[in-house]
Amino acid sequence: MSTVTQPAPAGPTPADVIPHSRAEFVRRFGQGEFGSLRVIIILAVIWAIFQAAESRFLTSVNLVNLTLQIAAVGTISVGVVLVLLLGEIDLSVGIVSGLCAAVMAVLNVKHGWPGPLAVLAGVVVGTAIGTFQGTVFTRFGIPSFVVTLAGLLGWAGVLLWVLGSTGTVNISDSFIVNLAGTFFDDVTGWGIGLVAVAAFAATTLNGRRRRVAAGLEAPPAAAIGLRIAVVAVAMAATIAIVNADRGLPLALVILVGFVLLFQWITTRTRFGRYIYAVGGNIEAARRAGIPVDKVRIAVFALSSTMAACGGVLAASRLLAVNQSSGGSDLLLLAIAGPVIAGTSLFGGRGTVWSALLGSLVIGSISNGMDLLALPSEDKFMVTGAVLLLAVIIDAITGSKRRQAGRV
């Protein structure tokens, strides 16, 4: 019996490659990859809807206001992302931000502490709170949501005690007020934007060079160039818009600075790799020799530290701290943003950039509804629905990835 040997295919034709590439893109997009692209699409739709409903939405005045509004929430979200990467949750970040802002305000206004020292004291209190909660969670094996839920209630009582009978503390210290009240002039704004783009380009190109030198797969040079060009265009548009109003806000620079710092920590340091490893598979991380307990405590300490920084920015913008500071929908917004932007509630997946992108999405929704003068009940329902939708999408994409892994 003779065997006929079929000639090996010469390779896929261009017609074969294009459909395959599209299918691959759709498959990976459905599994939760290209998270930034998904967020940008969502943001474009949101902005188009609100601009159609209210012509003031995309004006430079409102967009600068939007950046000021998201600065505090985004800063808190940076810490929330770290906790989510562990597969845990911190329900106390909202009230911790209010408590730390109250400590800062009382020390500055009632006890005469200089602004910088009062801010530092508030941040240190946040670090201490996070270390305490992380230690209780780790040492006693209590679920993080239980520990931080108790913190949400307990720290609210401490907030009332710190404020005392006055209830509200008005802030006038120039250092504290200028954190949210400083706007750079046009030339300085363009200079900061240029430095930011140059730093991004240098970091991206260096990362590709290191991967090539190590013999690892690296993205094509054209893709890197496109990524840098997109960031440059986005930065130029941002600077042009804010310069048309009051200028580049210091609060936005602080937020982006935190994002860049923690993005570097999570992607370029051993501690960052530990966070992803613990969130991906805690037992495997423990067997690999990773100090799981220390990583968890450190992450909760950082979460509350960033909550304190967010509280300081919020107090600077509002020029006061009161009994409702850190309350209302702040906790919901701080958690919803990163989840909407692709950070998984189940741990091990996400980036710190989701804090910035997510806060921009959730802040745009809140800002748009304020411009439309929607009642509070509608705002709460819409925000809750957006969070629920984001969680459902996260669960679906996670299921698709697990199914793909079994194929």
Q: Are 264 and 199 in contact (CB under 8 A)?
A: no
**Is 279 in contact with 68 (CB distance < 8 Å)?**
no
pLDDT tens digits, one per residue of 294-306: 999 999 999 999 9
Per-residue model confidence (pLDDT) at position 403:
63
- Mean pLDDT over 393-402 rounds to 68
What confidence score (pLDDT) does residue 301 get? Answer: 97
Q: Are strands 183-184 and 168-170 parallel, antiparallel or unpaired?
A: unpaired
SS3 label, residue 285: helix
SS3 category, 269: coil
* Rounded Cα–Cα distance for residues 180 and 318 (Å): 9
Report DSSP letters for 70-136, one per residue. Answer: HHHHHHHHHHHHHHHHTT---TTHHHHHHHHHHHHHHHHHTS---HHHHHHHHHHHHHHHHHHHHHH
pLDDT, tens only, 286-344: 999 999 999 999 999 999 999 999 999 999 999 999 998 888 788 888 988 888 887 87
Tokens of 52: 């159609």
Record: fold of 56-183+249-402: ABC transporter involved in vitamin B12 uptake, BtuC (1.10.3470)
Q: Residue ranges of the domains in the chain?
A: 56-183+249-402, 186-246
The tens digit of pLDDT for each residue in 41-76 reads 888 888 999 999 988 998 999 999 999 999 999 999
Rg (the chain; Cα; Å):
23
When pLDDT is cut at 50, 70 and 90, the band that residue 121 belongs to is: very high
Query: Per-residue pLDDT tens for 170-189?
Result: 999 999 999 999 999 999 99
Note the pLDDT of residue 204: 83
Lowest-confidence region among 120-134, 194-208, 264-278: 194-208
Kindly report the pTM of this predicted structure.
0.86
- State the pLDDT confidence band at 401, using cuts at 50, 70 and 90: low
Q: Which one, of 19, 148, 20, lies nearest residue 80 by Cα?
A: 148
More confident position, 21 or 339: 339
State which amino acid sits at residue 364.
Answer: S
